[in-house]
A and B are shown apart, each in its own frame.
Chain A
Amino acid sequence: MKQTESVGSLQMAVLFLFFLTGSSIVIIPSPLTSVAGSGAWLSLLLALLLGMAMLAVLLYVHRAGGGRPFIAYTRSALGGPLTWFVMAPFALLLFWNVAGIVIEIGFFFKSTMLKETPTYAVNGMLFLIIALTVRAGLETMARMAALLLLLMFGFVALILVLVSGLYRIEFLLPILPEGIKPILHGAYIAYGFPYAELFIFAVLLPHVRAREAGRISRHLYIALAVNGLTFVCAILGSLMVLGPLTGELKYSLYQLARLIYIREIVERIELVIGFSLIVGFYFKTAIALLILIKLLAALLRLQDEQLLTFPVALICFLLSLTTYTTESATEQIVNVTWPLLTTLAYAAPVVLLAVVLGFKAMADTS
């Protein structure tokens, strides 16, 4: 990693889209349908609206920061001690965020492809690749992202097209059989995972090239809209094929891929598709780890951030093996506690910063 890495606004939007879509596209349809039934897509749209509002706050803070690094303008706005007070929980949650994505990959492998392989072997190999990717730096990752994003979105679209013969529109009804609260519950889950996580991009946004900074808002809003549209398509596709079972079966896109059968020529292709979905998990983890390392380096005023990559990856690897080791415990944290944790540790500091920067701007103009 160079000391001053910079990427284009479109590249940043691709990273943003990858981060939001990465693991969520495989995981989110199941819990949302479990609580909101056929109205899961409405929950997603509600959470997406919240995501748009959160993105507006994030972009305001970024603009008010004037292109300086996130921690630099946080320090000047909040002061050193308060910066530590709000950023320590932010960093702690980000440590587990990185581990949590790999925990999910571990479960995905364990239940679909590598049933006999020890979890530490799967997680260890993944963390090795993730740490090496992060060590290559932001610019290299931004160049990688375009190809991997095409691969992931291409396979998602391919699954939804190839199972289209199994679609049954009647599975989409009724939408609100039990009132609005299940829809709000679904929105609560989708708000926490992935939309509230978008605040961690406050660390990366200052790396957009100065001459392209004006276009970043438009590109990020488009990325968020594409993410929402993809989620809605994945939820509707899963619902129309699996019906009420969508909420019972984990990794619904993978389950859809298992159903693909075209005249004995195209069948059992779920493993090929599964690997492309793994790309989403892998790259999302790499982006989160990169952000964590940049955040720690800035907080600790460290010149060489590369030095942190492997020890931080090791801590995240060990967290993935020692916390939430059962699927039920992971479901509990993701569906129940995670939205509250992300609100307190990710959203609250950035909103507080927005308020302080807003007051400072008003004081400067008056």
Chain B
Amino acid sequence: MSERLGCLLLIAVLIAWADASRFKKSDRRGRRLYLMLWGPAIYLGWLFVTELSGPNVDTVFGWFTPAAQRIVHWFEGGAKG
């Protein structure tokens, strides 16, 4: 866990350092959107560090899996028959 946290903090510091001057030059809207992007990054970082399985993009994709499986089963039905 500490390895993962260390890795993530290092990346965050590097990004903050690399974007600092551009962030200062951007307008208020740009700054607000930039900071908003850190919301999902922090949530995903928390999932990564704690190794928990909270709601994620794959949860959304999972809603479509039953429909996709029905399509695939139709193809597989031909293979078996």
Contacts and interface: CB of A to CB of B under 8 A. Distances in A.
Nearest to B58: A323
B41 A35 contact: no
Contacts of A324: 58
B37 interface: yes
Q: Which of A124, A178, A179, A319 has the most CB of B within 10 A?
A: A319
- Chain B interface extent, by class: 35 or more
A304 B22 contact: yes
Contacts of A319: 44, 56-57
Interface string A172-183: 000000111110
Interface in A79-136: 92, 95-96, 118, 120-121, 124
Contact of B72 (A188, A318, A321): A188
A188 B75 contact: yes
A311 B76 contact: no
Interface in A282-314: 300-304, 306-308, 310-312, 314
A336 B78 contact: no
A22 interface: no
B30 A181 contact: no
Contacts of B25: 304
Q: Which of B4, B30, B65 has the most CB of A within 10 A?
A: B30
A188 B37 CA distance: 34
Interface in B49-68: 56-58, 60-61, 64-65, 67-68
- Chain A interface extent, by class: 35 or more
A341 interface: yes
Nearest to B47: A322
A226 interface: no
Interface of A: 35, 92, 95-96, 118, 120-121, 124, 178-182, 184-185, 188, 300-304, 306-308, 310-312, 314-315, 317-319, 321-324, 329, 332-333, 335-337, 339-341, 344
27 contacts: A95-B57, A120-B4, A179-B78, A181-B78, A182-B75, A184-B75, A188-B71, A188-B72, A303-B26, A304-B30, A311-B19, A311-B34, A311-B38, A311-B41, A314-B11, A315-B41, A317-B11, A322-B44, A323-B56, A335-B72, A336-B65, A336-B69, A336-B72, A337-B61, A337-B64, A340-B71, A341-B64
